[in-house]
Amino acid sequence: MSEYPQVPRTTPARNPQRVTYDRVAVHAVLDEAVVCHVGFVVDGRPVVLPQLHARVGDVLYLHGSTGARALRAAEDGGLAVCVTVTLVDGLVLARSGFNSSVNYRSVVAHGLAAVVDDVAEKEAALDALVDAVVPGRAAAVRRPSRRELAATTVLRLPLEEVSLKVRSGPPRDEPEDLVLPVWAGVLPLATGAGEPVPDPELPAGTPVPEHVRTWARPAP
């Protein structure tokens, strides 16, 4: 299937023309984003936490400490979550504050996140999480120890109820505002890397590996 199914929870009340369920477009946003936000309810109260994530096919992996309250809750039949990712591509500067906006790509995924118990899947998911931040990094670093694996919980969220909302293009001003002497347009924004800063404990002369030196987020 080239698209995710449209269901009530992924049908927006506003600006439905901005929404797509295209798998390739959804995956591209999830892969480009460094951080997602995970919303859930614990003890009757809403909680939203930033987390690293990794997509493998139609599965989104999340992780955290085994002592985290939310992750403990996921061990009992799974945890209902809403995961969001937003990439801001530009500031849309209109001739009025009301019509000013941002150009963005935002994915929302609903589902039941379950704890990964299989050791092989857990290790593969952790490798994917490392590589999601810096591609190629998992093969260059030490493997996780048994203690580290035991201290880490990995959650698996099947990507089933998913939508992507996109705003792009110039400002959409009122016709009567077009004659105002106010600059209007788009200020593009992009994520870039600075010069790598070595750990003070690193031996002098240790070269910067290519996967660090050439790091860049995927192009939109």
> How many residues can be counted in the chain?
220
Q: pLDDT-derived band of residue 87, with 50, 70 and 90 as boundaries? A: very high
Tell me how many degrees the CA angle 60-82-92 measures, rounded to the nearest 5. 95
* Whole-structure pTM value: 0.91
pLDDT of residue 68: 67
Residue 180 lies in a domain: no
Q: What is the mean pLDDT of residues 211-218?
A: 89
CATH of the domain at 23: 2.30.110.10
- Domain containing 164: what range? 8-172+187-213
Tell me, yes or no, whether 3 lies in a domain.
no
Which range (41-55, 101-115, 173-187) has the least confidence?
A: 41-55
Tens of pLDDT along 142-198? Answer: 999 999 999 899 999 999 999 999 999 999 999 999 999 999 999 999 988 999 999
**What value does the mean pLDDT of the chain take?**
92
* Predicted pLDDT at 171: 97
State the DSSP string of the chain.
Answer: --BPPP-GGG--SS-GGGEE-BHHHHHHHHHH-S-EEEEEEETTEEEEEEE-EEEETTEEEEEEETT-HHHHHHTTT-EEEEEEEEEEEEEEE-SSTTT-EEEEEEEEEEEEEEE---HHHHHHHHHHHHHHHSTT-TTTSPPPPHHHHHTEEEEEEE--EEEEEEE-SS----GGGTTSS---EEEE-----------TTSPTTPPPPHHHHT--PPP-
User: Per the domain annotation, does 153 fall within a domain?
Assistant: yes
Question: Does 27 map to a domain?
Answer: yes
What is the reported pLDDT for 131?
A: 96
- Percent of the chain whose predicted confidence (pLDDT) is above 70: 94
Residue 216's pLDDT is: 87
Contact between 211 and 138 (Cβ < 8 Å): no
Residue 125 domain-assigned (yes or no): yes
In a domain, 219, yes or no: no
The answer on pLDDT for 69 being more than 80 is no
The predicted model gives 126-130 an average pLDDT of: 97
- Identify the pLDDT of residue 97: 97
Residue 220 is assigned to a structural domain of this protein: no
Per-residue model confidence (pLDDT) at position 78: 84
Averaged pLDDT for residues 191-206: 93
Confidence of residue 66 (pLDDT cuts 50, 70, 90): low
pLDDT band per the 50, 70, 90 thresholds, residue 43? confident
Q: How far is CA 16 from CA 21, 34, 123, 165, 189, in A?
A: 11, 26, 39, 8, 25
- The total of structural domains in the chain comes to 1
- On whether the CB atoms of residues 59 and 28 are closer than 8 A, the answer is no
194, part of any domain: yes
